[in-house]
Amino acid sequence: MPPESPWSCILWDVDGTIVDASDGILHRLTVTLEHFGRPAPTRAELVHWIGPPMFDSFQAQAGMDAELAATAVAWYRELGRAEGYTTGARLFPGVAELIHDLDRAGVPQATASSKPERQVHVLMEHFGLAPAFATMAGATPDERTLATKADIVAEALRRLRIDGIDTSRPVLVGDRHHDIDGGAVHDVPVIFVRWGFSWPHESEGASAVADDIHDLRALLLPAASVEPARP
């Protein structure tokens, strides 16, 4: 285990934790829902959409049955592909620097995202973060075969073990209760970050809460002996 961190490996949620993609998500949801005769969400209502798999959200938030939700997801994803997955996306302040510093400290990292895995790869490559991750796990394209946070956490850990990485002390960093629930299935503690898209009560059950990037750095790299990475 790297001496600079109490964790043998770190799993990262993406939307709301590393990346703020809310502008693009709101635009694509508006176009998709209006196409299917549903009202567009307001920005305040994005908290209901960002986090869970879109297949689930189209059912829970737009009242679609499973068949229509699958069609809506395909429509929504095609918009993203056509517009570019990075359009309107930006990093939350300080997160990239922390990920690079953890990598330089020798702490293995992986994504564990409910976003389709292809999108995770594109985003991490776009922001220059891909080399810092030992693996990037995300949902399958249909967002049904591999979609729950518990399944994705399991897949991320499985890949890390295959690569010979110590998973005895994992931690998941996320911003929604789905992260806490998914981590709990595998006894993975969760550090809940408050800068994402969540309700105040969603941090219940988390092992720790980070109000800002400084709090998160202290939890992940408390004895860091490396200099901060340059942007």
So what's the pLDDT on residue 223? 72
Q: What is the pLDDT averaged over residues 1-17? A: 86
Between residues 158 and 45, which one has the greater pLDDT?
158
Residue closest to 26 by CA, chosen among 213, 197, 220: 197
Cα angle, residue 161 at apex, residues 202 and 125 outer, rounded to 5°: 65
- The per-residue pLDDT for range 19-31, each reduced to its tens digit, is 998 888 889 899 9
Which residue type sits at 40?
Answer: A
